[in-house]
Structure 1
């Protein structure tokens, strides 16, 4: 599955954002469907509820927590197995 989104800046600059997921790959415990590799470049975004207790910052584990994959890429063959469109706004993907 692949989706392409276009972002248009105020000055007319167009940026193409890509969302994709390899149809034969589910999660990090699965080998790469392209080459069988088992090591990946993996970026995530994470959020949760934090608070201060005295001088200590605490993260509440009993409260809503969010973790989203931004990119998973096989280190052996460089196949992109999962890509969130926000990845392109935060990082540049080295295609080589």
Structure 2
């Protein structure tokens, strides 16, 4: 399974089923092939946040936002992660 689009779709379906570890592995595969893939970064960041991996999630949201700085959900989720980290000044 080398097609990044297919991997991303498969990862998203696993994510929706709550199979976060499996989804994360596929998101990371996509990012190895396409390091700037916004959707893979955003969804991997979301999965990390759902597992309370807030530092990892923050870094991923910031990478995603470099590619799409005005994405409303990414901005909102980044803010939620900062709140969880009690980093209110950012």
TM-score (norm 2): 0.25
TM-score (norm 1): 0.24
- Between Structure 1 and Structure 2, whose CA radius of gyration is higher? 1
Higher helix share: 2
Higher strand share: 1
Relative contact order higher in (CA < 8 Å, ≥ 6 apart) = 1
